[in-house]
Amino acid sequence: EVENAIPGIVKRSDFEAFKATISGPKGKLTDILKGMKNVPKEDRPAMGKLINEYKTQIEAFYTQALENLDALELAALIGPPIDPSLPSPDPAPGLLHPLTQTRRRMDDVFRKIGFTVAEGPEVETEWFCFDALNTPEDHPARDEQDTLFMPEDAKMGNVSKRGEERYILRSHTSTVQIRTMLAEKPPLRIISPGRVFRRDTSDATHSANFHQCEGLYIDREVTIKDLKAVLDYFVAEIFGKGSKVRLRPSFFPFTEPSFELDMMTPNLGKLSNQWIELGGCGMVDPKVFDAVGINSGKWTGFAFGMGVERIAMILHGIDDIRHFYNNDLRFLRQFA
């Protein structure tokens, strides 16, 4: 009877209930033991032996039933068998950061008109960031108030220093203009998106670490008209039809003339129909050509530098630059 009952026991409470019917105070085995006093004296040893054998057998069945229960509970914990070759049911895919998405969009737009992407290091020397860009020793941008300098004894294997100059974290991507002009011969047509660093106090529109996208175009007889045409095309592609660019006279040491670059679009809700600053631009200053050994009598060019965060903020109506760096998934998942 005990043996037959075992397969039906699938819960610990079933087991306890069944065990009580055999070995409990009112159990069958207990009854039999109680009945021993009625067995004739001479039969008792044989009867006792028989009962002990049953008892041993019953204990063995109990052990068996408990092992079965252990196995059942373990199987329930592990769940159904797994086929590791099947795709995961919830892959929770990662997504590109909104700044990466914006940068890639910008890359695509410029690629379509023949620009290639160039890169430069984030740790730079003063020469690439300032001297070669016609920025004099006493220019405010070179001040420790504005630019982050590396410690005097810093060693950067991949960037070599000229004389006594110091390593800095690049404060703009214009360094890549110089690197490109030294490495390649004109005509040139590059953009260079990347991270830059400044000692700016962080607020809703400024960060000490942000991104720019540089552009450089060198050929024969390049004019401001070419610059304006490329920028008009860029804003129409990024912000939609009817978007336009305004060049406001300004000053940068490495361009002459220099302009602030503003854009306006009819397509952006609250931000529509007002001029918004994107960056700076201008015609490459002949002194920059001199620094990299390009003949300024033969070649002319334009350059621009735009804030990538600025463009992403306008595109998506983001009102605080700090959202980009907080790694808050509620913010980031909106750009799936």
**Cβ at position 114, least distance to ligand FA5 in Å:** 19
Q: How far is the CB of 315 from ligand FA5 (least distance, A)?
A: 13
Nearer to ligand FA5, 19 or 170 (CB): 170
333's tokens = 């998942």
In the bound complex, what is the minimum distance in angstroms from residue 171's beta carbon to ligand FA5? 7
Taking the CA atoms of residue 282, residue 286, residue 292 and residue 296 in that order, the dihedral angle to the nearest 10 degrees is 110
Residue closer to ligand FA5 (CB basis): 58 or 212? 212
| CB of 334 vs ligand FA5, minimal distance in Å | 21
- Interacting residues toward ligand FA5 by CB under 6 A: 172, 174, 198, 200, 206-207, 210, 212, 252, 255, 277-282, 303-305, 307, 309-310, 321
Please identify, using beta-carbon distances, which residue of 65 and 263 lies nearer to ligand FA5: 263
State the distance between the two ends of the chain, measured CA to CA, in whole angstroms.
64
Q: Give the phi and the psi of residue 108 in degrees, each rounded to 5.
A: -60, -45
Q: Is 256 annotated as a binding residue?
A: yes
Tell me which residue has tokens 């003949």.
295
User: Does residue 257 have a cis peptide bond before it, meaning omega lies within 30 degrees of 0?
Assistant: yes
- Shortest Cβ 282–ligand FA5 spacing (Å): 5
Closest to 126 measured CA to CA, from 179, 178, 156, 170: 170
Give the residue with the Cβ less far from ligand FA5, 2 or 207. 207
Strand order in the sheet with 276-284: 116-117, 188-197, 209-219, 300-307, 276-284, 255-264, 244-252
Helix, strand, coil % in the chain, rounded to nearest 5? 45, 20, 35
Number of residue whose CB is nearest ligand FA5: 307
Q: Which of residues 14 and 131 has its CB atom nearest to ligand FA5 in the complex?
A: 131
Are the beta carbons of 299 and 309 closer than 8 angstroms?
no
Indicate the annotated binding residues for Mg(2+). 256
Indicate the annotated binding residues. 256
